Amino acid sequence: MAAVESQAQLNAAGTPAESGENDDIWYVFANMRKPGLLALVAYDGLRVFEYAIAVEVFALQRPGLGVPWYRTVVVSPERGRLGGIGGVAVKPDAPFATIAEADTIVVPGWRDVAERPPPRLLDAIAAASRRKARVLSICSGAFVLGHAGVLDGRRATTHWLYAGDFARAFPAARFAPDVLYVDEGHIITSAGSAAGLDACLHLVRRDFGVGVANTVARRMVTPPHRDGGQAQYVEAPVCARPDRSIGVAMDWARARLDRPIAVGELAARSAMSGRTFLRRFVDATGMAPNAWLQRQRIARARALIETSAATTAEIAAQCGYESPETFRAAFRRIAGVSPAAYRSRFTAR
pLDDT by residue (tens digit) across 223-258?
Answer: 665 655 554 443 333 344 455 688 889 999 999 999
**Residue 76's pLDDT is what?**
98
**Residue 70's pLDDT is what?**
97
pTM value is: 0.66
309-to-18, 251, 302, 303 alpha-carbon distances in Å: 14, 26, 12, 11
**For residues 138 and 310, what is the distance between their CA atoms, to the nearest angstrom?**
35
**Residue 85's pLDDT is what?**
85
**For residues 261 and 121, what is the distance between their CA atoms, to the nearest angstrom?**
51
**Residue among 150, 240, 195 nearest 54 (CA):** 195
171-to-96, 158, 235, 284, 294 alpha-carbon distances in Å: 30, 14, 26, 35, 33
> What CATH number should be reported for the domain whose range is 32-219?
3.40.50.880
Per residue in 172-197, pLDDT (tens digit) is 999 988 788 999 999 999 998 789 99
Contacts of 236 (CB under 8 A, 6+ apart): 282, 283, 286
Q: Which residues of the chain register pLDDT less than 50? A: 1-32, 231-241, 348-349
Residue 109 phi/psi, 5-degree rounding, is: 85, 175
Mean pLDDT of all residues belonging to the chain: 84
**Residue 226's pLDDT is what?**
64
**Residue 222's pLDDT is what?**
79
Per-domain residue ranges for the chain? Answer: 32-219, 244-285
